[in-house]
A and B are shown apart, each in its own frame.
Chain A
Amino acid sequence: MAQLISEQEVAHVARLARLALSAEELELYTTQLASVLGHAGDIEALDIADVAPTAHPFPLSNVFREDELRPCLDRQEVLAQAPLVESDRFRIPRILSEAQ
């Protein structure tokens, strides 16, 4: 049986999920993900095109409350948890490269 997922696909997925993998990890995860996808072959093979999908167990949607002012979290308490803060804002590294 052909491998269900290739190392290139795993590398692509890792990149999408912002995970850096070593060569050993890439090989290991490819084997392990293939084994889980192999198990999922049982549902892939089901002929259930006419069945409606279920995203959520109960039909609850658009739960609203009155639009009124309420106390919110304390700014200093929240900012105190951030790795890097400057002038009451979250400080992050450069977003755009020089070329952009």
Chain B
Amino acid sequence: MSSPAGASPTGQGPVPAASLSGSCAMSASDIAAGVRSGELSALGVLEEHLSQVERWEPEVHAFNLVTADAARARAREVDAMVAKGKDPGPLAGVPVALKDLLCTRGVPTTCSSRILAGWRPPYDATVVKKVAEAGAVAVGKANMDEFAMGSSTEHSATGPTRNPHDLKRVPGGSSGGSAAAVAAGFSALALGSDTGGSIRQPAALCGVVGVKPTYGLVSRYGLVAFASSLDQIGPFGRSVADAALALDVISGHDELDSTSLPGDPPRAASRLGRGVEGLRVGVIAELAGAEGISPDVAAALDGAAQSLAASGAKVEEISVPSVRFGLSAYYMIAPAEASSNLARYDGVRYGFRSPGQDITEMYMATRSVGFGAEVKRRIMLGTYALSAGYYDAYYGKAQKVRTLIIRDFDSAYSSFDVLLAPTSPTVAFELGAKTADPLAMYLSDVCTIPSNLAGHPAMSVPFGKGECGLPIGVQVLAPALGEPVMFQVAEALEAAAPLGTGDPHGEEAK
């Protein structure tokens, strides 16, 4: 299933700046304002985005499915509401891409896996309902690494997504289709999921904003489970304000998700526009100096820290010692939970079945043909980590490391409002570069994993360009429910970012 590095399907270059025009270049909040006031039609906005998809999707492959007809019907409904004097909501007419592990009633949801080919969920995920109720128009189901296991979107049964900045490179993963859709102007917003960095890392590699909210802030009802103590849904946008707008639509308690936090959620946008004067920002020494951080990424992080200091924040280096063990802990805990969650794909109730003489033979045939290589690796790793004789050494140890990481973060947040770290150790790598070496691929997540283990929010903001003119993301981490201050700092970074940042089609990109 791995793809060789090489030219894009038709050998064309990056999605060019000139092609991002009209509403495809607009922010979600501007689109919504225009549609609500009647200055823009939702259908007109959608058609511009569908033209962009038609032109560039054969190159990028951001989607497993483009739901053009349903989107047109929905856009007409939004326009009809406006015509009747009703407010469609804060995302009125905003085109949104949905990662293909969010259940959409009657619309195929595959998780980029053969084992779910053709499956049409009998219900909508809560977030899918929420964005629709806010007036958004879903344009399609975004490609991903199979069952969200991967960091490049190469582990997809439908083939890899390509980075809009350089079609020979990966968009990151696992939510690579969502990140690429936003970067290529296929949608103004996207939803993804982040178990160990699957929103933040592709956001960094595609030059967009990506947010992993606090565990429990966003309902996971209708999210196909990977690792249940880590998974969280979050938004992508081309600006910090757009990401905040989207998060404020999807957050909040849901009685259909037993891990949903009770009470009113913090408003992500509540501290935007306040600047960072007096805020205490800690740069995580162990991640800033982690093995494998490339010089361009290190320089961007330095630049980000300096820009916050110049804006009046108190910036210092801080040690969070146990994050060094995050990667190992994660690659025991996540596969262990996955091995349990993915036991449900047995060819009985939904999805693909391969025949067998008896039930065991049917299970084996179904799962062996239905799952791709990376999913099989993680299921086996997790089964091993949970098996008699190894449980204490691996899974039990990993859970204890999780306690240490939470303690160290708590200690850091007694002195700091937010923490800063790289998002990805490098800019986007070429297709095929890491598919033969799973551990090398796993190391892509070294800076993003600690927040998942702690259940804390973190987001990636574009900050300058690195090697080959490719985007770099800087990560802002905050304590549980610290979204307002996290977005406050992210906004300051966005404003201070070197030229070309946040523009996926900047002139430096070649």
Interface residues of A (CB under 8 A from B): 5, 9-10, 13-14, 16-21, 25, 29, 32-33, 35-37, 39-44, 46, 48, 51-58, 60, 63, 65, 73-74, 77-78, 80-84, 90, 92-95, 97
Report A-chain residues with C-beta under 8 Å of the C-beta of B294: none
Q: Is the interface of A mostly helix, strand, loop or mixed?
A: loop
Given known pairs A73-B123, A83-B353, A95-B358, the reply for A53 and B377 (CB within 8 Å) is no
A93 contact set on B, CB distance < 8 A: 355-359, 361-362
B84 contacts A by Cβ under 8 Å: no
Measured CA separation A16–B82 after assembly (Å) = 57
Q: What's the minimum C-beta distance from B231 to chain A, rounded to whole angstroms?
A: 11
- B280 is an interface residue with CB less than 8 A from chain A: no
List A contacts of B261 (CB < 8 A): 58, 60
Residues of A within 8 Å of B455, CB to CB, are 57-58
Query: Helix, strand, loop or mixed for chain B's interface?
Result: helix
* B328, B361, B394, B399 — most chain A CB neighbours (10 Å): B328
- Answer whether residue B331 sits at the interface, using C-beta atoms and an 8 A cutoff: yes
Q: Which residue of B lies closest to A38 (CB)?
A: B439
B13 / chain A contacts, CB cutoff of 8 Å? none
For the complex, what is the distance from the CA of A32 to the CA of B362, rounded to whole Å?
27
Residues of B within 8 A of A44 (CB): 393-394, 397
Q: Knowing A36-B331, A57-B406 touch, does A51 contact B384 (C-beta < 8 A)? A: no
Residues of B within 8 A of A10 (CB): 380, 384
Contact yes or no, A42 B350, CB < 8 A: no
When chains A and B are docked, how far (Å) is the Cα of A36 from the Cα of B320? 23
The interface on chain B, measured as residues whose beta carbon lies within 8 A of the other chain's beta carbons, has a size of 70
B97 within 8 A of A: no
Instruction: Report which residue of B339, B349, B356, B394 has the largest number of chain A beta carbons within 10 angstroms of its beta carbon.
Output: B349
Min CB distance A46 to B, Å, is 7
Question: Distance (Å) between the CB of B108 and the closest chain A CB?
Answer: 11
Most buried by A among B343, B348, B361, B455: B348
> Which residues of chain B from 430 to 450 have a CB within 8 Å of any chain A CB?
437-439, 442
Contact, CB under 8 Å: B215 / A57: yes
**Interfacial chain A residues near B331, Cβ < 8 Å:** 36, 39-40
Enumerate chain B residues within 8 angstroms of A14, measured Cβ to Cβ. 376, 380
The smallest C-beta distance from B353 to any residue of chain A, in angstroms, reads 4
- Known contacts A9-B384, A78-B122, A83-B351; A35 and B396 CB within 8 A of each other: no
Asked if A94 and B357 sit within 8 Å, CB to CB, the answer is: yes
Please report the C-alpha to C-alpha distance between residue A65 and residue B454 in the assembled complex, in whole angstroms: 28
How far apart are B376's CB and chain A's nearest CB, in angstroms? 6
Q: Does B381 contact A (CB under 8 A)?
A: yes
Q: CA A73 – CA B120 in complex, angstroms?
A: 13
Q: Which residues of B sit under 8 angstroms from A63, Cβ to Cβ?
A: 258
Q: Considering only CB atoms, which chain A residue lies closest to B119 in the complex?
A: A81
Chain A residues with Cβ under 8 A from B177's Cβ?
none
Give complex CA distance A61, B286 in Å.
33
Residue of A nearest to B216 (CB): A58
Contact residues, B322-374 vs A (CB, 8 A):
324-325, 327-329, 331-332, 339, 343, 346-353, 355-365, 367-368, 371
Extra contacts besides A33-B381, A36-B438, A52-B400 (20): CB < 8 Å: A13-B383, A18-B363, A19-B376, A20-B368, A32-B377, A33-B377, A36-B331, A39-B327, A42-B324, A43-B325, A44-B394, A46-B400, A51-B400, A51-B404, A55-B229, A74-B122, A78-B122, A81-B351, A90-B349, A92-B359
